[in-house]
Structure 1
């Protein structure tokens, strides 16, 4: 299933072209690094204690379901390891590690963790909270503490662990974690927590007789408790498709350890969901404890927690399917798993129609800047959800889903799906809007247009937009009226996410040729990344800027610029996990040199610039966390 790693050969190229006036994007890129180096310190000083924990004098559990909130604490720092991996300041990694430890201790004191892992919650949220841990593992793959935790967390889902039934190949409950299956949605089996917060999404299980509306339940507590018991029985046990995000937890352990049992489980569990699709038009969102689809929903393939019906539909279903399929493909080399990822996207697109954005009622924030002034103009929209009354809840398809799938597969059919969305859009895909969602995404369209050669000014506009977004966050920190000695209360725990000034989407797109990570539990999927050969740390060296302008299947184009006078040594790595195999590299118009490995070393004298053209095979080698230093030490040759 896994492939042997190729023998590394690391050509050492030297840039010879001197740039008198560096490109504007290169100067802006280094300025963005500098701005963020100051900004994360402002956030840390304002919102954290000496040991790294967040300033928070309240406790979790009251007024909530007793289970929610863990992810919100970690999410305040979710992209800090990414900034370090891209070339952020040397002390950023230590600061991020301190915050992770401090927040973990804080959550443990509140009874939300068991031995460092969330006690039990859905993977739509756990996936968000784990991004910080995955980032730290990638940044420090040799760390014994992280490696031990990664094994322990993953073992909770392997055969013999509390969450997984290997006979029926199901994760036993929608809420799961270090405490095993956590049945229902709260520790009180009759608790109905969604009477207000999720009212816009309508009633879950709206086909159950005798329960008519949120208003009825809000006015009759006993009726609400009765409905809570129905939800416990119908939706609070068995497997759901968002549990596929747990494959990232296990894939992370494999990438750290190389232990085959982890790869085998990812293939087995993703394979179970692939088999549930076989023979169906639509991948189901639920399976009972015996593995039967619709076991507690009277045969319905829809209706599971965070599934096709409630609350969001395609976004969690599509994310879970893409994350699970990508992880299985990464570890096995079997691209047929990606059919599981394609199905949710193609399913809703078969029902797409031209509709007015003014009619959208849910998940509107992402599209407001794009559709401003076009609310009455029809654009291609797809139904996000499916219930007994058919497909409903039309919206613009979340572009990060098809873009992430195409970026991973680089398959022509996956690109055609994006082109279909573009052709049906009423708004300008080349426009860059300064917007900031908690996912720190939302600019997939102009980046895609840049890669297609239709948006040449994108790098400069995107970098300026990122700096504006960072400045807005810093200003919101400085103007924050929340008592810095007390922090927000339990109902304001998104406060920190809303002010996190670290912005990595622009840097991921431009320097690595990659989209932002899928927020509900995806692992980083960078096309290329970099290492500072002198400091032997990940990221671009000081003064060095990078731009990936082409990622077509037959070649990749990377521009490197040294804006300083000191020489810099860069190692270019193919793939987040050195999983791609570079066959040849060409510097500027020079000859193509053989590589047959994942690394290329580049020497950049002061004010030097070089354009690299790489040919490579995606996922041609064995994926693993690690560093190139052993390969550089043993395989460097003079080109």
Structure 2
């Protein structure tokens, strides 16, 4: 292994090593490259089937209601993520064109305004704007990227006069329903019209809706009289003030920081998280799910701390409490390096676990709170403490995972059949993310066969999705026009048909679990750039496998399966360059270090002559750099933004 330096365009020196050992490519490396090739082809077929040449989607002529602008973005966002991992260069242009096409199309439908959703909640904003976060990783940053990031963040930090979503004095997002038109304190019957049939099978949002038996667990939204009462009660009790779900907005504001490095975005994220910490303290340790415009907990719910929009009672309970909280806490660590920023999420996991009870020998925790008390007891979900542990690497977070009884085999790899949930294991499979637990087992050395198993499963998932997409039900020209049908012709069809899913590639190459599907940034230990292509992702024919993570190191294997061409890549410390590499150790077959070199940089160049490979252990200091979307190549326009006219 030879250490030298190459000169970066910004006149910085990036340390460089050259691998010398000829290796026979292991099966995982061959499968990984096969999967990337299959995903590249599947992506092109998917785009050809569902989009027009201008990037718009082949779909219906109208779409009423506020729901749905997130779904087309969700269906196509993985084009950018696949490119970021090393997918075809063609995908980058397609991803950008389709984002523009969807944004224009939903503007014409009347739901997007000024390129941002006019109004909806932060579960759905969170899902849809993953697309923007993936485009940020895809780089290089364009003027449009930077401008949009600043403008969209401005809607939530109090800078936008048309979208006054934020009360800067009380540090309060003013409604659960917000967007480019500002907070929506009054919802209409049309806003929920596309969801009525779906919500018939959900729990009622309140316990006192006339004509509804709350204990039945269902509520007839399709009944006009009941529907009118629901909308009326929502406007009285739910549409004003702050909710924990709004913590997902920290992703959008962090996204703006990653482009600009402007401290106002970091300060906003920290201040907004801190005010929820204070509200939780005031509420005796349980985070309240509704805070009025005055800052009072339960202001529009007769003083009840439960009963807010996407809160403890309706519709999902703890999931939509802990997910935005976990996202916000991880964003705060990214921006500060302070592991104490995880404490609010940790404390809510602890409070929830302590409220549990033993049922038939199994410890169950409450997911909901009704007027009669805690309810909807289920097994605790390990994925949330797994996310915290991958950030902290702390024993206390490991203990939060290990206290959860294994009610199924955590080493088992699943192939999700629908985007939603797996009945056998209870695992959430939104966006076909279903294998966080077996990855966790693997990265701790308890599931050695996982890399090949998850790659094989991912290949089968692509095949499954292609079959579904190519079926008659997958033809967009055959889709019917009703709103609430249960087949593939609903607004969720693009997600259900999409073959571009790559959980295995994120986990194995980046060294982290897939993002939280409702608005999480893609946190991970490393990422890669192709030096010859001057772009993000693994170079052609290079396979990567993160084999071990510790608080101070990452161990990974790199293989160039091409016997004829040399490849050169750059490894980055952290998805956003937030870490710093210290030393690189070349490991022998027994895992012992046989050579060591100094790095002291967030980037490391690795040259892989034809047919070479190596296992490297790279020591690192974590969360010591300011995170950014910066590529290893200089951006002369990094801080350029356009300014509009100033009106009197």
Q: How does the TM-score come out when normalised to structure 1?
A: 0.89
| Alpha-carbon offset, residue 320 of structure 1 | 0.8
Give distance in 1, aligned partners of 2:439 and 2:178.
Answer: 37
1:316 pairs with 2:339: no
Residue 496 of structure 1 is matched in structure 2 by 494
| 1:596 counterpart = 2:597 | no
Aligned residue number for residue 402 of structure 1: 385
- The Cα shift of 1:113 comes to 0.8
Q: 1:546 aligned to 538, 544, 547, which one?
A: 544
* Distance (whole Å) between structure 2 residues aligned to residue 98 and residue 193 of structure 1: 27
**Given the alignment, which residue of 376, 383, 399 partners 1:416?**
399
Aligned to 1:287, the other structure's residue is in SS state coil
Which residue pairs with 2:265 in the alignment?
A: 262
Q: Give the unaligned 5+ runs of structure 1.
A: 1-6, 357-377, 632-639
Name 1:231's counterpart in structure 2: 234
CA offsets 1:436-490 (integer angstroms, 9 cap, x no match):
5342211011111111211111100100000000000001111133554464536
Give distance in 1, aligned partners of 2:309 and 2:330.
22
Q: State the Cα distance separating 1:69 from its structure 2 match.
A: 0.7
SS in structure 1 of the partner of residue 610 of structure 2 = coil
For residues 628 and 398 of structure 2, the distance between their equivalents in structure 1, rounded to whole angstroms, comes to: 27
Partner of 1:385: 368
* Whole-angstrom CA distance in 1 between matches of 2:620 and 2:475: 53
SS in 2 for 1:551: strand
Look up the SS of the partner of 2:631 in the other structure.
coil
Measure how far apart 1:281 and its partner are: 2.0
Distance 1:244 1:540, change over 3 A: same
- 1:447 aligns with 439
Match of 2:289 among 254, 263, 285: 285
**Which residues in structure 2 correspond to 1:567-606 (within 5 Å)?**
567-588=566-587, 589-606=593-610
TM-score by length of 2: 0.88
Contact (CA 8 Å) 1:192, 1:228: kept in 2 or not?
A: no
Instruction: Give the deviation of 1:592 after TM superposition.
Output: 2.6
CA deviations 1:145-182 (Å, max 9, x no partner) are 11111111111111243110011111111100000001
Shift of 1:345: 1.9
Cα distance per residue 1:365-414 (max 9 Å; x no partner)? xxxxxxxxxxxxx6543221122222211233333322112112222111
CA distance in 1, matches of 2:574, 2:208: 47
1-structure distance, mates of 2:226, 2:508 = 54
**After superposition, what is the alpha-carbon deviation per residue over 1:579-606, rounded to whole angstroms, capped at 9, x for unaligned?**
1111111122333322222111111111
SS in 1 for 2:411: coil
The structure whose RCO (Cα within 8 Å, separation 6+) is larger is 1
The aligned residue for residue 555 of structure 1 is 553
Question: Is this contact kept in 1: 2:72–2:102, CA < 8 A?
Answer: yes
Q: Post-superposition shift, 1:194?
A: 6.5
306-315 or 342-351: which moved more? Answer: 342-351
Query: Residues 401-550 of structure 1: matches in 2 within 5 Å?
Result: 401-421=384-404, 424-436=405-417, 437=419, 438-481=430-473, 483-485=475-477, 487=479, 489=481, 491=483, 492-550=490-548
Q: 1:159 to 1:462 in 2, by over 3 A?
A: same
SS at match of 1:268: helix
What residue number does 1:240 align with? Answer: 243
The SS at the match of 2:432 is coil
CA change 1:394–1:152 in 2 (3 A) is same
The number of residues matched between the two structures is: 596
Q: How far apart are 1:15 and its partner, in Å? A: 0.8
Report SS of the residue matched to 1:275.
helix
Q: Structure 1 residues 35, 379: closer, same or farther in 2, change over 3 A? A: farther
The structural deviation recorded for 1:209 is 8.3
Bigger CA drift: 538-547 or 72-81?
72-81
Call closer, same or farther: CA 1:122–1:550 in 2, change over 3 Å. same
Q: Which moved further from structure 2: 430-439 or 599-608? A: 430-439
Matched with 2:78 is 79
- Compared CA separation, residues 312 and 250, structure 1 to 2 (3 A): same
SS at match of 1:197: helix
Contact 1:308 1:386 in 2 (8 A): yes
- 2:331 corresponds to 1:331: no
Q: Find the counterpart in structure 2 of residue 16 from structure 1.
A: 20
CA deviation after TM superposition for structure 1 residue 86, in Å: 0.6
Provide the aligned C-alpha RMSD in A: 2.2
| Aligned counterparts of 1:235 and 1:216: Cα–Cα separation in 2 | 17
